[in-house]
């Protein structure tokens, strides 16, 4: 083989092996680090794995937010439009946009007693903007 | 009347874009300098009418003209005048008008400042920019008109600008970002023109490099500003969230960085020609993809604009046309540009190749993480939804950057074609020394050694040392190009240290405090001294006072913006070279207590400082005398020799 041919072949093999490795590593990482997102009815119906990192979302049920008497612990209910609810427990400062009756997304784990321990709470940024996850919920529940 | 005039001006801009495109392309094609001159003249007309249109929208904001829908949705009489002005680019329509204006400014600059390049190339570059400008303006006028009237029910008061956007960050971050984004439209146009003319040589690379540097500088500054703004405004001290929209700005930045490096090889050695062209196309394609992701509402993000499927569809069409069209052109023409360049062992070409491979891999992994949830929804469907969080991006990105640091440290001592073994061995000995320092430092300064941080710091020190030595050795023949490269790499190393240290050693505590109580974080006691009510034109709130060290105080606030019923935490930050102290005040809780979070963030500033240093380095490199304009004839004789 001519030298530049051999050179080109090396480059092609190198590129091929390199991109294959990248793709495999990425997919492996994705498998490990993906969070699944669930809506209230899925949580209540037991379609959700317990004690695994997940995300869940819905509306904060009005009147359900209870702060502990000491410390930063807080509990609230997340509900969908059919009034299916689950309880969330969170330790820490709630984001400024967190409000009763508004959409929220929580990240954490669901325990056996059906209470969601949130590691983080996200509130939406803008009234005009609804996270695509929650928009799905509204459409879903429209008659 | 004023809004109609603004709308009409934008329409004139659209017409000029048609002219710029047609005269540019056909002028180049027919080799007629009078037609290309016409195109050049029209770029001036276009920038004038779009500037007028933009000014008229600003005027509508300053006038509180709530008969204009966009003003009514994004302004309010109680807003200070500077937020009324920046409110112009606070939402989709106005920000896109700014985008088209920025395109026109770049176009006129290319038209007037690049007259020294060959007629054909100039014509095709302007023509391509005209086509891009036409698409943007058509999108603006027909589906995102910021001058749309709200008649007959004119509201007496506007809905106010989103309080998060009432900030100096909003005033400068978007314009910087757009200048950077559209700047890569210029390099895209140079890439297209090179494919059409079939000529790409050292001279071409030399003409493109200053434009890439400026675009990259602005994009860098734009991203840094965004990060800094999120850090102090969102109230929880994060500086990068791997949010889809951040990724949308970061991917073109990475591709643009690859392009800068690939261009170096193309200019100096005539190497990687095909690849350089592909990168010019790829970078701008990523910019357009970002615009689509941000403005169509398909992604879940804190930045996303309101959802409108029709807009999304048009943007997707633009994206597909530009990406598809340019790639087809590339497929047909690229092979004609091929060249053979010899290099072996550890050569500068090899290092640039590694740099490009790693950066493109980084782009790919971020792209995968960003689009995976969307792809899953579209192709798998069902009720199951996914999100890809920070852990994925960190796991992929950090190792890639460490590998990149390795190649980068050897860069200054490397030679074109082949680097003598002795130089490489010397560099590796320096790495050993840096590693020892990086392992000893935390032992002396902190309690324990964190392997990841030591690794990053070792590489950073190594980068400092090799670049310092290389600059010293070349002190008699230092070019601004070489200085620029060294400064950029040192900036990168500074940022690496910042990222590693602040990510690992940040300490954060939250609590409910009564007046007079204190919270200890990282050895410092912060006492809540008092809470006072505070007030301004459009918000009310509470302002807390925390005392720490001797006679130092911080005043975080919680604000309530009544018009939008919107609460914000205004964190108080004591910045420092070696640590930031960051206090978030969440307002009243039961039993006379106040919610508080305090963070101690070492080396936080180094991240932005390093990035700004790298950005300015692009400016230094650009001033290198080899980019000074040479007349076309001089160049031709030079290259025929």
Confidence band, pLDDT 50/70/90 cuts, at residue A143? very low
Q: Nearest CA to B485 among B466, B504, B499?
A: B466
pLDDT at B508: 93
SS (H, E, C) B257-289: HHHHHHHHHHHHHCCCHHHHHHHHHHHHHHHHH
- Residue B306's pLDDT is 54
Whole-number pLDDT of residue B630: 54
Give the nearest chain B residue to A33 (CA atoms).
B392
In a domain, B570, yes or no: yes
Average pLDDT over residues B267-278: 90
- CA–CA distances in Å: residue B604 to residues A41, B442, B503, B577, B580: 42, 17, 9, 8, 6
- For residue B304, what pLDDT is reported? 54
Q: Does residue B621 lie within any of the structural domains?
A: no
Residues from chain B that touch A42, judged by Cβ atoms under 8 A, are 383
Query: Where does a domain end: B161, B194, B216?
Result: B161
**Quick check: helix, strand or coil at residue B541?**
strand
Please tell me the distance in Å from A8's CA to the nearest CA on chain B. Answer: 10
Given the structure tokens 């086509």, which residue do they identify? B131
Is the pLDDT at B489 greater than 80? The verdict is yes
Q: Please state the three-class secondary structure of B342-375 as a single string.
A: CCCCCCHHHHHHHHHHHHHHHHHHHHHHHHHHHH
Tens of pLDDT, residue by residue over B59-114, are: 999 999 999 999 998 898 988 999 999 999 988 899 999 999 999 999 999 999 98
Q: Do A22 and B361 touch (CB under 8 A)?
A: yes
β pairing state of A115-123 and A85-91: parallel
- Distance, CA of B244 to CA of B216 (rounded, Å): 20
- Whole-angstrom Cα distance, residue B265 to residue B339? 12
The domain boundary, picked from B120, B146, B161, lies at: B161
What pLDDT shows up at residue B594? Answer: 94
Q: Identify which of B28, B39, B21 has the alpha carbon closest to the alpha carbon of residue B130.
A: B21
pLDDT at B460 over 90: yes
pLDDT tens digits, A9-18: 887 888 888 8
* Residue B93 included in any domain: yes
pLDDT given for residue B637 in this prediction: 46
Nearest residue to B5 via CA among B52, B68, B41: B52
Q: Does A44 have pLDDT greater than 50?
A: yes
Instruction: Please say if the pLDDT value at position B158 is more than 90.
Output: no
Q: Which residues of B touch A22 (CB under 8 A)?
A: 361, 364-365
pTM (2 decimals)? 0.92
- What is the distance between the alpha carbons of residues A97 and A143, in angstroms, rounded to a whole number? 29
**B54 is a domain residue:** yes
CA proximity to B362, closest of B328, B396, B325, B313: B396
pLDDT, tens digit (0-9, with 9 covering 90-100), for B535-566: 988 899 999 999 999 889 999 999 998 887 88
In a domain, B563, yes or no: yes
Range of the domain at B589: 508-602
Whole-number Å distance between alpha carbons of B605 and B262: 30
Nearest Cβ partner of B595 from A25, A55, A72? A72
A102 has a chain B CB within 8 A of its CB: no
Judge whether A83 is closer than 8 Å to chain B, CB to CB. Answer: no
Residue B229 lies in a domain: no
Q: What is the pLDDT of residue A27?
A: 86
B392 to A132: CB separation less than 8 angstroms, yes or no: no
- Is there a domain that residue B527 lies in? yes
Q: Quick one: closest CA in A to B341, which residue?
A: A4
Q: What confidence score (pLDDT) does residue A3 get?
A: 66
Q: What is the pLDDT of residue B333?
A: 87
With H, G, I as helix, E, B as strand and everything else as coil, classify residue B487: helix
**What does the alpha-carbon distance between residue B99 and residue B77 come to, in Å, rounded to a whole number?**
26
pLDDT at residue B400 above 90? yes
Confidence of residue A127 (pLDDT cuts 50, 70, 90): very low
Domain end among B141, B161, B181 = B161
| B511/A69 CB distance under 8 A | no
**Phi, psi at B616, each rounded to 5°:** -65, -30
Q: Which residues of B touch A32 (CB under 8 A)?
A: 391-392, 395
Answer yes or no: do B590 and A4 touch at CB < 8 A: no
Beta carbons of B106 and B126 less than 8 angstroms apart: no
Inter-chain CB pairs, A–B, below 8 Å: 108
Mean pLDDT of B350-359: 92
**How far is Cα of residue B637 from the mean position of the Cα atoms in its chain?**
39
- B111: domain CATH number is 1.20.120
Residue B439 lies in a domain: no
Residue of B297, B300, B584 lying closest to A93 (CB–CB): B584
Q: Which of B161, B302, B362, B558 to mutate to test the interface with A (most CBs of A within 10 A)?
A: B302
Number of domains in chain B: 2
Q: Which of A118-127, B167-176, B283-292, B514-523 has the lowest mean pLDDT?
A: A118-127
Mean predicted confidence (pLDDT) in B180-185:
97
Using the beta-carbon criterion (under 8 Å), do A25 and B567 form an inter-chain contact?
no
Q: Does A25 touch chain B (CB under 8 A)?
A: yes
Q: Cβ contact (<8 Å) for B302 and A125?
A: yes
Contact B416, B349 (CB under 8 A): yes
Residue B30 has pLDDT above 50, yes or no: yes
Alpha-carbon distance of B368 to B377, in angstroms, equals: 14
Say yes or no to pLDDT of B301 above 80: no
How close is the nearest chain A Cα to the Cα of B283, in Å? 19
Q: Does A75 touch chain B (CB under 8 A)?
A: no
Question: Which residue of B297, B387, B396 is in closest CB contact with A55?
Answer: B387
Instruction: Give chain B's mean pLDDT.
Output: 90
| pLDDT computed for residue A129 by the predictor | 45
For B366-399, the pLDDT digits (tens) are 999 999 888 887 887 666 778 888 889 999 999 9
Where does A36-141 sit in CATH, by number?
A: 2.40.50.140
> Residue B209 has what DSSP assignment?
H
User: B306, A33: Cβ pair inside 8 Å?
Assistant: no
Distance from CA of B591 to the nearest CA of A (A): 8
Cβ <8 Å between B307 and A135: yes
Q: Tell me, what's the pLDDT at A142?
A: 31
- Other CB atoms within a 10 A radius of the CB of residue B30 amount to 11
Q: Is B134 exposed, middle or buried (0-12, 13-18, 19+ CB in 10 A)?
A: buried
Predicted confidence (pLDDT) at residue B28 exceeds the cutoff of 90: yes
């Amino acid at each position: 083989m001519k030298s530049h041919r051999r050179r080109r072949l090396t480059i092609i093999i190198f590129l091929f092996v390199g991109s294959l490795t990248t793709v495999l590593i990425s997919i492996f990482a994705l498998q490990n680090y993906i969070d699944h997102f669930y809506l209230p009815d899925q949580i209540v119906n037991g379609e959700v794995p317990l004690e695994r990192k997940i995300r869940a979302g819905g509306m904060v049920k009005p009147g359900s937010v209870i702060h502990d008497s000491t410390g930063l612990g807080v509990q609230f209910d997340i509900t969908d439009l059919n009034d299916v609810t689950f309880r969330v427990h969170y330790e820490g400062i709630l984001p400024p946009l967190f409000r009763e009756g508004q959409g929220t997304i929580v990240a954490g784990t669901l325990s056996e007693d059906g209470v969601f321990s949130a590691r983080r709470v996200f509130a939406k940024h803008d009234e005009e903007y609804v996270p695509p996850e929650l928009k799905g919920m509204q459409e879903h529940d429209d008659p | 009347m004023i809004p109609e005039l603004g709308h009409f001006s934008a329409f004139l801009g659209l017409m000029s874009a048609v002219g710029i495109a047609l005269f540019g392309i056909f002028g180049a094609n027919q080799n007629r300098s009078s037609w290309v001159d016409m195109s050049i003249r029209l770029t001036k007309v276009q920038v004038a009418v779009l500037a007028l249109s933009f000014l008229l929208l600003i005027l509508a904001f300053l006038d509180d003209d709530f008969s204009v829908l966009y003003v009514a949705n994004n302004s309010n009489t109680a807003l200070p005048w500077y937020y009324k002005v920046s409110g112009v680019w606070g939402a989709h329509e106005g920000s896109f008008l700014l985008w088209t204006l920025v395109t026109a400014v770049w176009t006129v600059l290319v038209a007037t400042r690049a007259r020294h390049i060959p007629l054909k190339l100039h014509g095709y570059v302007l023509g391509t920019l005209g086509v891009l400008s036409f698409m943007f303006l058509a999108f603006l006028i027909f589906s995102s008109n910021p001058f749309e009237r709200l008649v007959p029910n004119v509201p007496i008061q506007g809905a106010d600008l989103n309080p998060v956007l009432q900030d100096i960050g909003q005033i400068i971050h978007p314009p910087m970002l757009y200048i950077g984004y559209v700047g890569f439209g210029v390099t895209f146009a140079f890439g297209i023109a090179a494919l059409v003319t079939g000529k790409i040589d050292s001279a071409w690379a030399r003409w493109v490099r200053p434009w890439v540097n400026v675009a990259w500088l602005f994009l860098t500054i734009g991203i840094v500003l965004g990060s800094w703004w999120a850090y102090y405004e969102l109230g929880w001290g994060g500086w990068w969230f791997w949010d889809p929209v951040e990724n949308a700005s970061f991917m073109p930045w990475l591709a643009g960085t690859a392009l800068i490096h690939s261009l170096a090889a193309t200019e100096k050695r005539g190497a990687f020609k095909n690849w350089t062209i592909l990168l010019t196309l790829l970078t701008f394609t990523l910019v357009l993809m970002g615009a689509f992701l941000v403005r169509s509402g398909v992604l879940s993000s804190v930045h996303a604009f309101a959802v409108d499927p029709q807009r999304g569809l048009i943007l997707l069409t633009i994206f597909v046309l530009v990406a598809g069209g340019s790639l087809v052109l590339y497929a047909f023409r690229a092979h004609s540009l091929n060249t053979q360049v010899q290099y072996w062992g550890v050569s500068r070409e090899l290092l640039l190749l590694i740099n490009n491979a790693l950066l493109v891999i980084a782009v790919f992994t971020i792209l995968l993480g960003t689009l995976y949830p969307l792809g899953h929804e579209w192709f798998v469907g069902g009720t199951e939804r996914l999100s890809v969080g920070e852990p994925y991006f960190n796991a992929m990105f950090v190792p890639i950057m460490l590998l990149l640091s390795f190649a980068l440290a050897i860069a200054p001592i490397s030679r074109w074609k082949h680097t003598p073994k002795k130089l490489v061995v010397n560099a590796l000995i320096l790495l050993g020394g840096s590693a020892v320092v990086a392992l000893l430092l935390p032992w002396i300064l902190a309690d324990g050694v964190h392997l990841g941080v030591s690794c990053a710091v070792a590489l950073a020190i190594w980068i400092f040392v090799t670049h310092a030595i290389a600059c010293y050795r070349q002190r008699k023949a230092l070019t601004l190009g070489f200085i620029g490269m060294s400064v950029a790499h040192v900036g990168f190393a500074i940022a690496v240290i910042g990222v590693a240290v602040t990510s690992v050693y940040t300490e954060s505590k939250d609590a409910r405090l009564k007046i007079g109580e204190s919270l200890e974080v990282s050895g410092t006691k912060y006492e809540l001294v008092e809470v006072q009510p505070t007030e301004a034109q459009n918000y009310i709130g509470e302002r807390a006072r925390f005392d720490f060290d001797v006679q130092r105080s911080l005043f975080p606030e919680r604000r309530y913006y009544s018009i939008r019923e919107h609460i914000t935490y205004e964190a108080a930050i004591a910045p420092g070279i070696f640590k930031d102290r960051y206090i978030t005040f969440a307002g009243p809780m039961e039993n006379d207590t106040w919610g508080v979070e305090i963070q101690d963030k070492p080396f936080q500033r180094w991240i932005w400082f390093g990035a700004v240093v790298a950005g300015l380095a692009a400016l230094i490199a650009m001033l290198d005398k080899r980019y000074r304009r040479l007349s076309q004839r001089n160049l031709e004789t030079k290259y025929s020799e």
